[in-house]
Amino acid sequence: MINRAVLVGRLTRDTELRYTTSGTAVGTFSLAVNRQFTNQAGEREADFINCVIWRKSAENFSNFTHKGSLVGIEGRIQTRNYENQQGQRVYVTEVVVENFSLLEPRSQNQNSAQTGNSSFDNHASNTPQGASTNDNPFGSPSSTGNKDSSAAANDPFASNGQSIDISDDDLPF
């Protein structure tokens, strides 16, 4: 049997980080995921999916993300139920996150938080995944003095505004 969920979307609010009585960290958040099609008005709708993340991953996720952050998550779908204070049975379906990826540079992520940009569009960052950015998401400083010029000088894929000419013979496929 297979129970896998892979989602890419934006956080609808900051992660709510709490601790159990035994001291285990647990984070809850909601992810807005755009649908692949448009409605009759030509607008894209989004699904808002509840997620839960545990232990050290929850602390890291809470520290490096905020409302509007573009993230990818991988986990499993879980259903549970409980009885609320009014005696009613409440059913909950959520994704239990086992793995996550931050899908935009930290500098862009911080800028969108400062400007209040919380649009849930389906556009990825302008910086390609794996490309050099000015900020290390783990906070360790670069060993060079001028990060901008050294990153551009050391990047063999930087086009510097010029088109890159690659022949079919250069491609591995």
pLDDT tens digit sequence for 67-105: 989 999 999 999 999 999 999 999 999 999 999 999 888
Is residue 66, in this structure, part of any structural domain at all? yes
- Domain hosting 25: range is 5-154
> 131 or 47, which is more confident?
47
Q: Which long-range contacts (CB under 8 A, 24 or more apart) does 126-132 make?
A: 129/103, 131/155, 131/157
pTM of the model: 0.59
Instruction: Tell me what pLDDT residue 90 has.
Output: 92
Is residue 159, in this structure, part of any structural domain at all? no
Token pair belonging to 140: 């360790």
Instruction: Tell me what pLDDT residue 107 has.
Output: 64
Number of folded domains in the chain? 1
Flag whether pLDDT at 113 surpasses 90.
no
The CATH number that applies at residue 28 is: 2.40.50.140
Is residue 50, in this structure, part of any structural domain at all? yes
Is residue 173, in this structure, part of any structural domain at all? no
